[in-house]
Amino acid sequence: MMRLMRGMAEAVAPAFLPCGDSALVLQLGDCIDARVNADIFAIAAAVDAAAIPGLVEIVPSYRSLLVRYDPEIIRGRELEQRLAGFSRPGEGAGKKGRGWSIPVVYGGEVGQDLEEIAAMKDLSPEELVSLHSSVEYRVFMIGFAPGFAYLGGLPPILHTPRLQKPRQYVPAGSIGIGGQQASVNSVAGPSGWRFIGWTPIRVFDPQRAAPFLLAGGDRVRFTSIDPEAGERLAARAAAGETVIEPEEAA
């Protein structure tokens, strides 16, 4: 099980793990840490730019990189040697992803868990909203569903276990809390996360040239808006308008 690292992660030599006969995992450590994650995305970018013959797909996550390859073009041992040349600790230091300000309608029908979580934490709903929107989150990885972003940086007081029995339907755009992470639902579906609001922003839209709004390493802040503003933004998004623009990566 991965552990949460609150301080500075120590430099860890990469480990290589075979996944069958056509995939390899490069792993850095065993903790959730922004610096390790930044190294993973720096390695992913370097591997992608290298265009190594035989590579089929690269999939970065919290602290590992899955590389799928064609064994008829490149062998696993050769690929491991090539990847070792990219895995330099600290490679991602100082690199920032794009910044996003995502508007949220807190509470209401979609944010059905807001008051319960506030009561669990001995907070008012307004205090919970203030805490949730007071920090910058990091997109640690995209996974589970198209465009679904796992967000680190949730204030510790808001860490809340998932529901024992998942709900069968949660709308796209729902703003969630699951354990020590935050999220924005990219598509409608079942979920065991707890939800405190809704955003009209479409983090996944297959009609866009770039269907996924968020990418690993991006930074996210949430801003509170009223329901009327949310409906206006939803109408604009439905009409295909660009509702928010990113602050470009540094």
pLDDT tens, position by position, 207-245: 888 999 999 999 999 999 999 999 999 999 998 888 999
Beta-carbon neighbour count of residue 161 at 10 Å?
12
The domain made up of 99-238 is a member of CATH 2.40.100.10: yes
Give me the residue label for tokens 């070792």: 84
Could you tell me the pTM of the whole model?
Answer: 0.85
> How much of the chain exceeds pLDDT 70, in percent?
91
Q: The tokens 């794009």 sit on which residue? A: 98
CA distance 147 to 112: 23
Quick check: 93 pLDDT over 60?
no
Delimiting residues of CATH 3.30.1360.40 domain(s) in the chain: 3-84
Helix (H) or strand (E) holding 31: strand 31-32
Strands 149-152 and 137-142, bridge-based pairing = antiparallel
Architecture of domain 3-84: 2-Layer Sandwich (3.30)
Both tokens assigned to 144: 């589970």
Looking at the chain, the domain(s) classified CATH 2.40.100.10 span 99-238
**Are the beta carbons of 199 and 188 closer than 8 angstroms?**
no
74: tokens are 């490149």
Mean per-residue pLDDT for 139-149? 93
**Contact partners, residue 239, CB within 8 Å, separation at least 6:** none
